[in-house]
């Protein structure tokens, strides 16, 4: 994997940060992006101190021009693109009869529309580049990983927007896998369960993004934890391990899959 170039969205903290560090330790040049400029710069500095190569490009993945700017910056800085990890996202919960159009649209934009637009922008540097390599007899694999959730498989009370977006991400993943598999580009999704991130921390801790409260009520989190056969949430490191697997040569024959990482809460 050394010398590969990876874009990781939502890389300012949590799963994105852990994934970036894991890839950088394997010699992957990482392009970090997050809406929180201070956080993503901190992650970049940490990776550079570890001896890795990284650039930070802060911004909102849902902005119209951002996907093209991000991909252009990656190619300008490192000359190629091998891995795309669509990880950025947040939750904005509400019961369906109280949910506004804005709530529904914003969550769809960040979890489904943004990954689609980033994949489309990456096409010249992934699909087109791969076609040329194949013509030259070069057998190099590229990877797209869409971070989804079991909410897209099961639905969630208070999350019609999030569950709809994450379910749509499965369809996007499988369609890209069928279109681009012939070019040695694997597109897979991960259906995470209860992972120990800001999105599942007790809401009482007061975490938020752009003024929108994050997390779930403490009693609901405790109920969910009891329902997991392993009786604990997954760690950020365990989440990053799953993403790492799908970026590595170990998964070269895994395409269009939905990898479930949930401790057995959904089988």
| Residues annotated catalytic, as ranges | 162
DSSP assignment of 175-201 equals HHHHHHGGGTEEEEEEEE-SBSSTTTS
Cα–Cα dist 191/77, whole Å: 31
Give the SS3 label for residue 256: coil
Residues 1 and 26: beta-carbon distance below 8 Å: yes
Contact 131, 187 (CB under 8 A): no
Confirm if 246 and 254 have CB atoms less than 8 A apart.
yes
Is the separation of the CB atoms in 144 and 188 below 8 Å? Answer: yes
Structure tokens at 116: 């689609």
Residue spans of alpha helices (H) in the chain: 14-25, 37-49, 66-78, 101-108, 114-135, 151-154, 160-180, 218-227, 236-247
CB 21 within 8 A of CB 40: no
């Amino acid at each position: 994997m050394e010398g590969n170039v990876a874009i990781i969205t939502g890389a300012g903290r949590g799963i994105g940060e852990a994934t970036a560090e894991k890839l950088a330790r394997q010699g992957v040049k990482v392009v970090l992006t997050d809406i929180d400029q201070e956080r993503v710069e901190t992650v970049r500095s940490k990776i550079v101190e570890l001896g890795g190569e990284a650039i930070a490009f802060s911004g909102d993945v849902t902005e119209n021009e951002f996907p093209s700017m991000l991909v252009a910056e990656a190619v300008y800085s490192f000359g190629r693109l091998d891995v795309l990890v669509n990880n950025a996202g947040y939750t904005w919960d509400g019961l369906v009869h109280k949910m506004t159009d804005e709530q529904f649209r914003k969550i769809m934009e960040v979890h489904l529309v943004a990954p689609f637009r980033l994949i489309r922008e990456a096409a010249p540097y992934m699909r087109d580049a791969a076609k040329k390599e194949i013509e030259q007899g070069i057998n190099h694999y590229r990877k797209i990983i869409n971070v989804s959730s079991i909410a897209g498989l099961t639905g969630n009370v208070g999350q019609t927007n999030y569950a709809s977006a994450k379910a749509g991400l499965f369809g996007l993943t499988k369609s890209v896998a069928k279109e681009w598999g012939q070019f040695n580009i694997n597109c897979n999704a991960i259906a995470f369960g209860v992972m120990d991130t800001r999105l599942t921390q007790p809401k009482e801790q007061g975490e938020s993004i752009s003024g929108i409260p994050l997390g779930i009520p403490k009693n609901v989190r405790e109920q969910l934890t009891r329902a997991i056969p392993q009786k604990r949430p997954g760690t950020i490191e365990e989440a990053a391990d799953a993403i790492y697997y799908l970026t590595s040569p170990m998964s070269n024959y895994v395409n269009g899959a939905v990898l479930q990482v949930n401790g057995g809460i959904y089988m």
